Structure 1
């Protein structure tokens, strides 16, 4: 059965939104103009300013607001939005009515409309903080509202047409790592190693001092040499680890300096992980949104790894729209994994599922597929300063939300974050808990 969407407007934004919603469930749809009636063998959805003008039963009406046609917003949208899931739809005289502009709000979240007009000049790296986001203001930071709305819409469509065949979506886990610095000790001078050991002693980090001293005088495995463990853990839920490598073309920002060590690794370092790791690029802060710089870093990394690079995640999650995504597209990147808040876990785009980026200024959907990031280790430890108990609580809430919505749990854990360096030893139980919960999450999908 086909879903016919009768609308009083013709808009690439509406078509983009419908492709996302119905594509999640494998549903066919056609978008019709108001004066063109669908055939009899279809389920009717009417989207317009006024109630359904067609006298028929078994129609789902979604009221259209100005949101689907808005350009950029300098303030939060004032269109009505329900506070709870039981307020989304209701039966009226044999038809179903939505209480709000579901299509407009889904487009609002996916297009990242709220990020175009914010002034990031006063923020570190100009990044979009969760504190500025609409999801945080509504108390939805840990709630996949887009996924919930789409799921409830399909539930009502199924009630209206019991024969409607729905496929998916299926839950999944995407384990990722950013390789900002491959080794903590290896390749550094004796003077630097001794200085770092003494510094850890002065700062009363006994465990770290012991580890540094042992490596200095006895040797052993470098504490950042953890890709084996990370990839094996990803294998527990039958996934390959996605690892994004910092490979700066030039270093104009001190936060890119660690990436220079990657150039000394040699191609053999990457070849041995061919069966367990998918490699992506990690555009440097120095590259910014310059497509020539990003392309140069991509070509350099491809030459080192000897394989094509089509996925990317921004260093420090530095993402500014539309410049960053346009530069990535021009450089030949097809997938981006930066869509998460740097300073908190949560659902930045209201969904855990991938979507194609819509360029608001050019008014078109693009070829860049965006994979939301729900959790980053540094957000918990550095920005929220969460102790291990609080960190585990936030992980549990996110995974539970993905279980409720049959979503995709994507996390980032650096190779340097399962070591004893810089206080990360306190977070080793947090990482272990994360892997256990992800494994259970995937087992429940069978």
Structure 2
């Protein structure tokens, strides 16, 4: 048990130390504000204050964990060996940076509470972030800082044996549209034929006819094949189904169609299933509630996980909506147009609500890549392999986001990449 002496035990401090020291590094931690208790403690201990008491393991504290609310924070990026870091702690500090305050800044998404320029979908973009502006978005800096801290810590306390953790690979598959042609209704099917003709997509026109006449499989209907693959490589994929009403950005098949219901039930028997919250539910908790109820009814299980379609994540409101609906896992923490670690980490963490100054029960599973059609598969794969290597080194969780549309026979290179990732990083 590590005992931390500090002048004030705040919710921010408790949250950050528990996550970094206990959840990431596997060392139990407790706190005290009494000097006598700290001095009398003859086992593992450290101080987190402005000046050291003696020659103890000491980290000079930044003010961020001791204040409330949001304000401008002065940040100057420096290099800790080859890793970017901020909030330097000075020469007296055993560790050169206050990684606790810096980690809280990234994990809480502090910068997303500040004013920023939204894109056309109302989203916070990667270009607005501290990590993007300082070229460390593709690096899980929080986890690397923890490993650097641990190395220094174990030199002082060699008898400490941290609880081991392992690298894990956790693929996520979005299902915004289950089928390319099947079960889309008369009006949408007729409109599809007309669009094919107008845009001279004659091969697709023929393919549509063949599928509707049961002469050919629907190109998006690869669910059984991938369930078999996941079984072979002993990997639990996470499928997120979009069950919102039809709109400009939501083209899902009606939840009232029996084949769609059977599909979701079948997938849920072999994989983890969650809600792909619709574009329209971005700021509408009532729509979100309806969509959650639809999935609950379909799988006859409580819906515990969700992610936002188009990655329209607005902190903290969307997370507050999930908590109100008793959803306990979120998979929206990332960028849909840029690879990287939005919260600076490859480790799942509990969302801290700065507005309420509390750690919430919502666990955030950050992803670092989502397929984007504008990328070439080879270039995209090279970027992914670099990030996987970093996640492996810190024994984190690598979460990529794919779409069933991307994994169809129309996109052979992307399908091969998905299968290769399974072969390389699965539990088989």
TM-score, normalising length: structure 1: 0.85
Structure 1 residues 272-421: aligned runs within 5 Å: 272-377=266-371, 380-381=372-373, 385-419=374-408
Contact 1:342 1:376 in 2 (8 A): yes
Verify: 1:239 aligned to 2:239, yes or no. no
Contact 1:312-1:335 at 8 Å conserved across structures:
yes
* Secondary structure at the counterpart of residue 299 of structure 1: helix
Q: Greater CA deviation, 310-319 or 35-44?
A: 35-44
Note the alpha carbon deviations across 1:383-403, whole angstroms, 9 max, x for none. Answer: xx2222211111111211112
Aligned-partner SS, 1:46: strand
Q: What's the offset of the Cα at 1:439?
A: 3.0
Contact kept, 8 Å, 2:334 with 2:368, in 1: the verdict is yes
What does residue range 139-158 of structure 1 map to in structure 2 within 5 Å? 139-158=135-154
Q: Tell me what 2:3 maps to.
A: 4
Q: Distance in 1 between matches of 2:83 and 2:398?
A: 25
Aligned partner of 1:175 among 171, 175, 179: 171
**Is residue 2:118 matched to residue 1:118?**
no
> Is 1:14 the equivalent of 2:13?
yes
**Contact 1:68–1:104 (CA<8 Å) still a contact in 2?**
yes
For 2:110 and 2:351, the matched residues in 1 are separated by: 11
After superposition, the Cα gap between the structure-2 partners of 1:283 and 1:397, relative to the gap in structure 1 and judged at 3 Å, is same
Distance, in Å, in 1 between the alignment partners of 2:121 and 2:100 is: 32
Secondary structure of the structure 1 residue equivalent to 2:424: helix
Distance 1:41 1:321 in 2: 43
SS in 1 for 2:249: helix
Shift of 1:19: 0.8
C-alpha separation between the residues in 1 aligned to 2:36 and 2:231? 52
SS of the aligned residue for 2:18 comes to helix
Give unmatched runs, 5+ long, in structure 1: none
| Post-superposition offset of 1:87 | 9.1
Work out the CA distance in 1 between the residues paired with 2:152 and 2:413: 42
Deviates more, 1:324-333 or 1:122-131: 122-131
Displacement of 1:339 after TM fit?
A: 0.4
Describe the shift of the 1:60–1:428 C-alpha distance in structure 2 as closer, same or farther (beyond 3 A). Answer: farther
The 3-state SS of whatever aligns with 2:274 is strand
Moved more, 38-47 or 307-316: 38-47
1:220 aligned residue: 216
Q: 1:71 to 1:113 in 2, by over 3 A?
A: farther
Match of 1:131 in 2: 127
Please tell me whether the aligned partners of residues 234 and 426 of structure 2 are also in contact (alpha carbons under 8 angstroms). no
Deviation track 1:242-291 (CA, whole Å, cap 9, x = no partner) reads 1111112x55x4112x1243331353323323432211112212222333
Say what the alpha-carbon RMSD is for the aligned residues: 2.8
Confirm or deny: 8 A CA contact 2:182 2:212 kept in the other structure.
Answer: no
Aligned residue pairs: how many?
419
Deviates more, 1:281-290 or 1:229-238: 229-238
- Aligned pairs for 1:239-258 within 5 A: 239-248=235-244, 250-251=245-246, 253-256=247-250, 258=251
Query: Cα deviation per residue 1:58-111 (whole Å; 9 max; x = unaligned)?
Result: x322121233246566766425643535798x9x99x97111111100111110
Q: 1:71 to 1:394 in 2, by over 3 A?
A: farther
Partner of 1:261: 254
C-alpha contact 2:350 2:364 (8 A) present in aligned 1: yes
- Contact 1:183 1:225 survives alignment (8 Å): yes
Partners of 1:271 and 1:71 in 2: CA distance: 45
Q: What SS does structure 2 have at the residue aligned with 1:126?
A: coil
Contact preservation (8 Å) 2:289, 2:325: yes
- Retained in 2: the 8 A contact 1:172–1:407? yes
- Conserved 8 A contact 1:392-1:430: no
> Shift of residue 233 of structure 1?
3.5
User: d(CA) in 1 for partners of 2:68 and 2:126?
Assistant: 22
Per the alignment, do residues 319 and 274 of structure 1 end up closer, same or farther by CA in structure 2, a change over 3 Å counting?
A: closer
Q: TM-score, normalised by structure 2?
A: 0.89
Distance 1:87 1:284 in 2: 36
